[in-house]
């Protein structure tokens, strides 16, 4: 299993971010602040099955720290690809990670449009929770109309962007 090794994160920043919007409090062991290391399995490509609507792929990860208990820390995921519920003719691709605009791609060409989170479904689960062993998992589910494109997958802890990977959809 290949891992994309990521940056160390200062736990004091994570504590501030996690306690800001949620009731989760991460207490460092012995009141020491330390680093957290995250590894996410590298997925270079996914074979999109054109015979079914969605192709399912798991992404595994590990979070470790010698200074703090990582159990129940949230990993948040996002992607640049979406599909519209009830519309199998194409897919939506964001212009950038923080953009609300992008292009709708279908058999008739592409159309500029704004992202509408009420009607569009992401190709990735949006949250993973770290278990007692430091493991977490995400599911990616591109749809058949996304075949022959490239997907970006980003992950973060709180509001701190951590890293990303590019996944080719064959």
Delineate the domains of the chain, giving CATH numbers in brackets.
3-79+124-169 (2.60.40.10)
Q: How much of the chain exceeds pLDDT 90, in percent?
A: 39
Q: Is the pLDDT of residue 147 over 70?
A: yes
The whole-angstrom distance between residue 147's C-alpha and the CA centroid of its chain comes to 19
Q: What is the pTM of this model?
A: 0.74
Rounded to the nearest 5°, which phi and psi values hold at 73? Answer: -75, 140
User: What are residue 82's DSSP bridge partners?
Assistant: 92, 122
The pLDDT of residue 169 is 95
For CA atoms 110, 46, 3, 16, give the dihedral sign: positive
User: What are residue 138's DSSP bridge partners?
Assistant: 59
Q: Is the pLDDT of residue 5 over 70?
A: no
Placement of tokens 């998992």 in the chain: 137
Exposed, middle or buried by CB within 10 Å (0-12, 13-18, 19+), for 160? middle
């Amino acid at each position: 299993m290949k891992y994309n090794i990521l940056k160390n994160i200062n736990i004091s920043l994570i504590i501030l971010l996690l306690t800001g919007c949620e009731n989760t409090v991460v207490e460092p062991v012995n009141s020491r602040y330390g680093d957290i290391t995250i590894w996410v399995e590298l997925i270079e490509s996914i074979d999109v099955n054109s015979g079914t609507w969605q192709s399912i792929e798991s992404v595994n990860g590990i979070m470790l720290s010698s200074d703090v208990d990582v159990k129940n820390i949230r990993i948040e995921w996002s992607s640049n690809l979406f599909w519209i519920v009830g519309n199998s003719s194409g897919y939506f691709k964001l212009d950038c990670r923080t953009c609300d605009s992008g292009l709708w791609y279908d058999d008739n060409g592409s159309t500029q449009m704004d992202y509408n989170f009420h009607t569009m479904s992401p190709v990735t689960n949006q949250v993973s929770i770290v278990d007692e062993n430091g493991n977490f998992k995400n599911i990616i589910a591109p749809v058949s109309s996304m075949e022959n494109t490239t997907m970006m997958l980003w992950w973060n802890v709180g509001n701190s962007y951590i890293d990303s990977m590019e996944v080719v959809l064959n």
